[in-house]
């Protein structure tokens, strides 16, 4: 049974729909519009990355049949991006060869970074779901509905206790909600059937950085499966270990690339070699590895006099390493060079990561010229038409953080106001910097209160209740004791 798509129109009518297979389009009531087809393309792209080694995509749907309506004629065109969540579940089910656990309806927009965004018309859509359940056979009734997390309250108000509601924030949340524990077993089986290809795929996901669609915890979990099915000592096994270490580094477990040596790196093809160097350097920064200078020197020796994509990644990583250890003037030099390399290659969106760190380092170096240049780089990247939603969030966050550090509360508010609705991951960070910038911090688990108190001089340092703070705080204490130490905090 297909996932039920929920829609609403300007007249306040809700409707429920089933997708029609291409060979049965003559039985359809409506053709999907351009925005609905775009939603399918985005959702299917996310699904392809969520299920590594999955089969070829299913045919893009083009028609749907009305299953229920709350009154009035069905909308003249079936269109809109709120079908994305249902499309995602459809595509995932095809790729995993799994049916959802229970009869399911969905509404929600899916972005290409895997974020699920809230949508409108929730009351009308839930009323259409109830109409569907009343009009059909009991054995076809919808048992569950999945909606964006921000739409949960409205959906539960409309449904009462009649249909359970699950809220999701990401594609992986939606996959687990739709398919339950069968999801992990099937993913593991898919990876185990082709271990060499799986190892390559895991490494591709891990080194893709901002282009990835999976939360890092899921990358680490899948890479661990591949580690178990590859032979120790082989290149495939090493690649799976590297993928796991890169993923672990990104969600609060700082670690260097302990399973790769410089000899291993030099044996890789050029572009992969430099990508691994950049992760090795960044791992040294995140893992609080000292002394840091030999790591910098080894990395720079590989790229001297060269200015390509790989070299830009390494320069950016070296700049972030230097900034992590308080070498702000030197960090600015390498971060600016990374931004220039990306821009010279007409890859302006790639400048987002080094540009954000360049702005932070320039503020801490208190260098007006570097500040002006870094601010310009962030703003240019933010204005670029091809910038991703995830990069846009971090660029706004960088501008807001800089304004808070400068004591410009109004500029901080304007920059950070657009962050929280866009990305739940950045929510607590934006709230924290708003609080640091002088706006009242409401009691909430979403704000790291220790850091806010530290910023206001009300505490000597964070409680370190969370291990993710320890490496950063150890570095801060090594070069910046005193009440201004909080300024060195990156996020």
Domain with 100 in it: what CATH number?
A: 3.30.230.10
Residue 484 has pLDDT above 70, yes or no: no
Verify that 52 and 168 share a domain, yes or no.
yes
Verify that 142 and 180 share a domain, yes or no.
yes
- Domain span including residue 225: 194-251
**Sign of the four-CA dihedral 258, 263, 266, 267:** negative
In a domain, 111, yes or no: yes
Verify that 199 and 126 share a domain, yes or no.
no
Taking residues 155-180, what's their average pLDDT? Answer: 92
CA distance 278 to 379: 25
Verify that 38 and 158 share a domain, yes or no.
yes
Verify that 64 and 127 share a domain, yes or no.
yes
Share of the chain above pLDDT 90, in %: 41
Whole-model pTM over 0.85: no
Verify that 232 and 84 share a domain, yes or no.
no
Verify that 150 and 53 share a domain, yes or no.
yes
Verify that 42 and 132 share a domain, yes or no.
yes
In a domain, 335, yes or no: no
Q: Structure tokens of 370?
A: 């570097």
In a domain, 52, yes or no: yes
pLDDT number for residue 356: 95
Instruction: Evaluate whether 146 touches 85 at the Cβ level (below 8 Å).
Output: yes
Cβ count near 308 (within 10 Å)? 15
Cβ count near 445 (within 10 Å)? 7
Q: Among 60-64, 119-123, 128-132, where is mean pLDDT lowest?
A: 60-64
Count of structural domains within the chain: 2
pLDDT digit string, tens, across residues 24-44 = 777 788 889 999 999 999 999
Verify that 100 and 208 share a domain, yes or no.
no
Residues 6+ apart with CB under 8 A from 319: 331, 332, 333, 334, 335, 337, 338, 354, 357, 358, 361
Verify that 16 and 157 share a domain, yes or no.
yes
Taking residues 460-464, what's their average pLDDT? Answer: 57
Q: What is the mean pLDDT of the chain?
A: 85
Select the more confidently predicted residue: 491 or 42: 42
Q: Collapse the DSSP code of 3 into the 3-class scheme (helix H, G, I; strand E, B; otherwise coil) and give the result.
A: coil
pLDDT digit string, tens, across residues 281-337 = 988 887 667 778 988 999 999 999 888 888 999 999 999 999 988 899 999 999 999
Verify that 211 and 72 share a domain, yes or no.
no
pLDDT digit string, tens, across residues 87-128 = 999 999 998 889 998 899 999 999 887 889 999 999 999 999
């Amino acid at each position: 049974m297909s996932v039920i798509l929920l829609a609403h129109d300007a007249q306040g009518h809700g409707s429920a729909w089933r997708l029609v297979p291409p060979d049965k389009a003559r039985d359809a009531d409506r053709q999907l519009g351009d925005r609905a087809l775009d939603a399918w393309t985005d959702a299917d792209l996310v699904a392809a990355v969520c299920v590594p080694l999955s089969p070829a995509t299913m045919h893009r749907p083009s028609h749907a049949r009305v299953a229920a309506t709350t009154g009035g004629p069905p909308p003249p065109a079936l269109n809109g991006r709120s079908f994305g969540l249902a499309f995602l579940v459809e595509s995932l089910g095809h790729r995993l060869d799994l049916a959802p656990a229970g009869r399911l309806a969905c509404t929600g927009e899916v972005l290409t970074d895997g974020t699920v965004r809230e949508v409108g018309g929730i009351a009308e859509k839930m009323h259409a779901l109830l109409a569907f359940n009343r009009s059909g056979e009991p054995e076809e009734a919808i048992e569950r509905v999945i909606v964006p997390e921000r739409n949960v309250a409205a959906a539960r108000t409309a449904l009462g206790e009649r249909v359970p509601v699950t809220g999701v924030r990401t594609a992986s949340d939606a996959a687990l909600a739709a398919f339950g524990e069968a999801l992990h077993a099937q993913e593991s089986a898919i990876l185990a059937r082709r271990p060499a290809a799986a190892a390559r795929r895991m490494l591709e996901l891990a080194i893709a950085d901002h282009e990835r669609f999976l939360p890092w915890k899921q990358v680490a979990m899948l890479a661990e499966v591949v580690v178990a099915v590859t032979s120790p000592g082989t290149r495939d096994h090493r690649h799976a270990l590297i993928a796991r270490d890169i993923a672990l580094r990104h969600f609060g477990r700082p670690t260097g690339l302990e399973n790769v040596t410089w000899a291993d790196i030099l044996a890789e093809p050029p572009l992969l070699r430099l990508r691994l160097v950049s992760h090795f350097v960044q791992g040294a920064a995140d893992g609080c590895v000292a002394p840091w200078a030999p790591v910098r020197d080894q990395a720079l020796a590989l790229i001297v006099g060269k200015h390509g994509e790989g070299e830009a990644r390494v320069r950016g990583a070296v700049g972030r390493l230097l900034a992590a250890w308080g070498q702000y003037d030197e960090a600015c030099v390498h971060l600016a060079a990374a931004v220039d390399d990306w821009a010279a290659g007409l890859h302006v969106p790639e400048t987002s990561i080094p540009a954000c760190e360049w702005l932070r380092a320039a503020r801490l170096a208190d260098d007006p010229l570097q500040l002006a240049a870094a601010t310009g780089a962030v703003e240019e990247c933010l204005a670029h038409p091809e910038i991703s939603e995830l990069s846009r969030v971090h660029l706004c966050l960088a501008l807001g953080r800089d304004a808070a550090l400068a004591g410009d509360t109004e500029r901080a508010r304007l920059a950070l106001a657009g962050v929280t609705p866009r990305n739940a991951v950045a929510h607590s960070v934006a709230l924290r910097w708003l609080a640091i910038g002088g706006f009242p911090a409401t009691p909430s688990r979403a704000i790291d209160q220790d850091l806010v108190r530290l910023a206001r001089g009300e505490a000597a340092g964070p409680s370190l209740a969370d291990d993710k703070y320890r490496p950063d705080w150890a570095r801060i204490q090594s070069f910046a004791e005193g009440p201004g130490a909080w300024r060195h905090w990156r996020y």
